[in-house]
């Protein structure tokens, strides 16, 4: 699938009509297109795209493609890009067995003159200068902890290609309204390298950096063109900022992950058995009930009645109810005591063969 235009701007439809201002309007469109911006009349909005998470964009605003069908205006694009990269980084950390993330974010505020243009021909001679007047830098720290999930994606896959396919399926399950994007991940060399190193080299720690710049050269170029036609505000001086996010990521060892993974696999197997064996299910409930009851009464011996009653139902189902009741009458309390040891249907069948059908 081909990616949509990187930069796009919608102008009012009258800019594309023949009129006394046609030459002037055409020059504006040409000036934007020569800078790599697709210019489109507002009436030709692409219905499959979202602009700042909305169906309808604003006119005279530069939109920058981020991922999938999502565009963001030039003022918030960098923030959205860093948010997307961060969310994918955290998602990968979770599914690849991360245990802890420490984030230190540095904020640098700059009051700058951000426009400097030569009077020569076209975009080749146009440049943007950032003349720093004063700078203020602050750091913000944040930690996140992850439980040991067993990371089945890391344990089960034997090749890098298999892991990428598994990651893609994981992304496909996520609501498309979210900012997360497999397309962005697979085309971001830093994120791919992060996942590749963790999978192949079993990294225990990793340092990842995300830069976020408030202003970009393309934005300033386009705004300077629009300003010349009275379509944008004055950009001679502004207060901008840049952020740098440093993420220190720590992982569980393969042994720690496999221990949890094997335990969860056993639990799933036992749950499947319980779903197909009423006696295994009742035994599970019997043991849980014992743990609660022994908190108040350490001598609690267990409540066997649900298992006992199920034995009677089972005897009726297999056609030995009369024999079972006669045996119970002759051996009072014996089946109740034996029920404390039944763990599955096979235990009950074995008991019946020894005591009823022998």
Task: Determine the pLDDT at residue 32.
Answer: 87
| 80 domain residue, yes or no | yes
Do 168 and 180 lie in a common domain?
yes
Q: Are 110 and 135 in contact (CB under 8 A)?
A: yes
- pLDDT tens-digit map of 175-227: 777 888 999 999 999 999 999 999 999 999 999 999 887 666 777 778 777 77
Angstrom distance (rounded) from CA 137 to CA 242: 9
Task: Determine the pLDDT at residue 247.
Answer: 93
Q: Are 342 and 307 in contact (CB under 8 A)?
A: yes
Do 58 and 138 lie in a common domain?
no
Tokens, residue 127? 């440049």
Tokens, residue 74? 């030039």
Q: Are 110 and 89 in contact (CB under 8 A)?
A: no
Mean pLDDT (the chain) is: 83
Do 114 and 216 lie in a common domain?
yes
- Look at residue 235 and tell me whether its pLDDT is greater than 70: no
Do 96 and 244 lie in a common domain?
yes
Task: Determine the pLDDT at residue 107.
Answer: 79
Q: Which one of 73, 101, 135 terminates a domain?
A: 73
| 271 domain residue, yes or no | no
| 311 domain residue, yes or no | yes
Q: Are 279 and 347 in contact (CB under 8 A)?
A: yes
Angstrom distance (rounded) from CA 357 to CA 300: 33
| 270 domain residue, yes or no | no
Task: Determine the pLDDT at residue 116.
Answer: 41
Angstrom distance (rounded) from CA 8 to CA 62: 6
Do 52 and 149 lie in a common domain?
no
Do 217 and 291 lie in a common domain?
no
Task: Determine the pLDDT at residue 339.
Answer: 94
C-alpha 187: how far from its chain's center?
A: 16
Structural domains of the chain, count: 3
Give me the domain span that covers residue 11: 1-73
- Look at residue 250 and tell me whether its pLDDT is greater than 70: yes
Q: Which one of 19, 40, 73 terminates a domain?
A: 73
| 177 domain residue, yes or no | yes
- pLDDT tens-digit map of 48-88: 999 999 999 999 899 999 999 999 998 889 889 999 999 99
Do 115 and 247 lie in a common domain?
yes
pTM of structure: 0.71
Task: Determine the pLDDT at residue 17.
Answer: 72
Angstrom distance (rounded) from CA 180 to CA 94: 14
| 293 domain residue, yes or no | yes
Do 65 and 106 lie in a common domain?
no
Do 255 and 106 lie in a common domain?
yes
| 132 domain residue, yes or no | yes
- Look at residue 100 and tell me whether its pLDDT is greater than 50: yes
Do 69 and 79 lie in a common domain?
no
Do 40 and 153 lie in a common domain?
no
Do 229 and 293 lie in a common domain?
no
| 183 domain residue, yes or no | yes
What lies within 8 Å, CB to CB, of 129 at 6+ separation is 113, 114, 116
C-alpha 217: how far from its chain's center?
A: 31
Task: Determine the pLDDT at residue 133.
Answer: 41
């Amino acid at each position: 699938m081909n990616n949509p235009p990187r930069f796009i701007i919608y102008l009012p439809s009258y800019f594309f009509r023949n009129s006394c201002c046609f030459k002037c309007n055409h020059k504006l469109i040409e000036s934007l297109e020569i800078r790599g911006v697709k210019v489109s009349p507002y009436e030709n909005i692409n219905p499959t795209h979202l602009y700042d998470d909305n169906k309808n964009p604003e006119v005279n605003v530069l939109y920058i493609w981020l991922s999938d069908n999502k565009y963001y205006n030039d003022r918030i694009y960098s923030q959205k890009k860093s948010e997307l990269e961060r969310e994918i980084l955290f998602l990968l950390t979770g599914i690849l067995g991360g245990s802890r993330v420490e984030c230190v974010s540095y904020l640098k505020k700059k009051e700058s003159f951000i426009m400097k243009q030569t009077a020569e021909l076209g975009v080749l001679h146009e440049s943007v200068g950032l003349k720093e007047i004063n700078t203020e830098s602050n750091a913000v720290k944040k930690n996140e902890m992850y439980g040991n999930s067993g990371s089945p994606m890391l344990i089960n896959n034997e090749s890098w290609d298999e892991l990428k396919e598994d990651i893609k399926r994981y992304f496909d399950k996520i609501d498309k309204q979210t900012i997360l994007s497999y397309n962005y991940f697979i085309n971001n060399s830093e994120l791919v390298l992060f996942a590749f190193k963790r999978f192949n080299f079993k990294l225990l720690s990793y340092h990842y950096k995300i830069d976020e710049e408030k202003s970009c050269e393309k934005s300033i170029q386009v705004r300077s063109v629009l300003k010349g036609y009275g379509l944008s505000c004055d950009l001679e001086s502004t207060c901008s900022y840049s952020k740098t996010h440093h993420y220190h990521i720590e992982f569980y060892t393969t042994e720690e992950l496999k221990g949890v993974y094997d335990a969860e696999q056993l639990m799933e197997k036992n749950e499947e058995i319980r779903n197909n064996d009423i006696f295994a299910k009742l035994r599970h409930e019997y043991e849980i009930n014992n743990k609660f009851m022994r908190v108040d009464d350490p001598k609690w011996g267990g409540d066997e009645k649900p298992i006992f009653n199920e034995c009677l139902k089972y005897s009726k189902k297999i056609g030995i109810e009369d024999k079972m009741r006669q045996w119970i009458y002759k051996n009072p309390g014996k089946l109740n005591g034996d029920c404390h040891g039944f763990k599955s249907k096979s235990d009950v069948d074995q008991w019946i063969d020894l005591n009823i059908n022998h």
